[in-house]
Amino acid sequence: MAESTAKPPRPRRVAKAKIPPLVDLHAGPTDISDTLIRTEAKKAAVWIGMAALLGLAIFLAQPLLVIFGGMVFAAMIDGGARLLGRVLPIARGWRVTIVLLLTLAFISWTAMFTGSQIAAQAAQLPGIVEAQTLRVLEWLRGHGVQFDMQSAEGLIDKVVGGVGQITSAVGGVIGGLTTAFLIAVMAIYFAAEPQLYRRGFAWLLPQGQRAHFEGTATIMGRTLRRLLAGRLLGMAVEGVATWALLAAYGVPMAALLGLLTGLLAFLPNIGAPISGALMILVGFSGGVDMGIYCIIVYVVVQVVDGNIIVPMVAKRTADLAPALVLGAQLIMGALFGLLGLMLADPLVAMLKVALERQSEKNESA
């Protein structure tokens, strides 16, 4: 039988249904076809985002300053724990606890034994400053200096108001303000587990940036500890020396003037002239001889601090230009008050370290 040569029938082609695309491929009203315009639009979006972040930072400036204040206070605690570790080889947690207990004991001692005396002296200080300033103005008028007495009295009222704010700030530090309490609590958390927060912040950065951040954070911490150690040393020397020398001569309000001198020593460039002016005004309230003695005390204390303590500390801390620090203090003080004034110096030091590290990274790239 002959083989069949018939071909099997071809299967019928079934037309596939056209599925509409899920995404419309046509250009929309927000699509930019021009490459140059698209690039510039991205740049504009970046700048707008930075402006929005800047506005948010300004809006949240006070809480951010409180957080930074907690970091600064934590650096003090950490520095004390490291210093204690040189003579007491125990766990870091115990050393931090000892530093906190010593700080609490000092604050309690100040409040219990000198709080009432200083509070009474602080209430008398504005009146003495006003009376002495009027005496100076009358002396100037008697020697031919012409000025409007009413305007001068208005200026005196502002000065006295500023002195009242300073003495109120002293009482607030002794009594414990809400902001100071928040800073202290945050500082304890930061000082207890600093690596926890550093690792958490580094985790938010790209992997290629983490090593650079760790190096920068290490240098920042060391710089901040040394800077604050120098500040605390200067505060202690100026405050104790001023109190002892004034009390030895019988100058009124020696304890208050010593405390104000010590606290204002934390503010370089600004604190010393303010404390010196207050000291001299109070001194002349007890006579010319006492006033001259107060001038000598102020000069001696500032010479010792400026020529011995400051150079010794400056060799081991951030080398900050005085004009830069003063400008930062004026700006931060005008924007955020006393808290901004106190934190201006550490903030400038941290920014200086960050910029130097970024410059080194750019040069090595």
Domain assignment present for residue 29? The answer is no
Q: Please, how many CA atoms are within 13 Å of residue 61, restricted to the half-sphere of its CB?
A: 12
Closest CA to 171 of 121, 130, 128, 126: 121
Domain assignment present for residue 204? The answer is yes
Q: Looking at 209-218, 271-280, 314-323, which range is the least confident one?
A: 314-323
Across the chain, mean pLDDT equals: 76
**Distance separating alpha carbons of residues 259 and 242, to the nearest angstrom:** 9
Structure confidence by residue, pLDDT tens digits, 125-164: 666 666 767 777 776 676 666 655 555 555 555 554 544 4
Q: Which residue has the higher pLDDT, 360 or 20?
A: 360
Q: Reply yes or no on whether the pLDDT at 21 is more than 60.
A: no
Domain assignment present for residue 255? The answer is yes
Domain assignment present for residue 218? The answer is yes
Domain assignment present for residue 41? The answer is no
**Distance separating alpha carbons of residues 310 and 306, to the nearest angstrom:** 5
Q: If you average pLDDT over residues 65-76, what whole number do you get?
A: 89
Domain assignment present for residue 170? The answer is yes
Q: What is the pLDDT at residue 318?
A: 63
SS (H, E, C) 116-160: HHHHHHHHHHHHHHHHHHHHHHHHHHHCCCCCCHHHHHHHHHHHH
Domain assignment present for residue 9? The answer is no
Distance spanning both ends of the chain, measured CA to CA: 88
- Domains in the chain, number: 1
Domain that holds residue 180: 47-364
Helix (H, G, I), strand (E, B) or coil at 286: coil
pTM above 0.75, yes or no: no
Amino acid at 235: M
Asked if 297 and 246 count as a contact pair (C-beta separation under 8 A), the reply is yes
Q: What is the pLDDT at residue 165?
A: 47
Domain assignment present for residue 7? The answer is no
Q: How many CB atoms lie within 10 A of CB 42?
A: 11
Q: Which residue has the higher pLDDT, 299 or 113?
A: 299
Q: What is the pLDDT at residue 176?
A: 42
Structure confidence by residue, pLDDT tens digits, 29-39: 556 666 777 78
Q: Which residue has the higher pLDDT, 214 or 130?
A: 214
Q: What is the pLDDT at residue 62?
A: 81
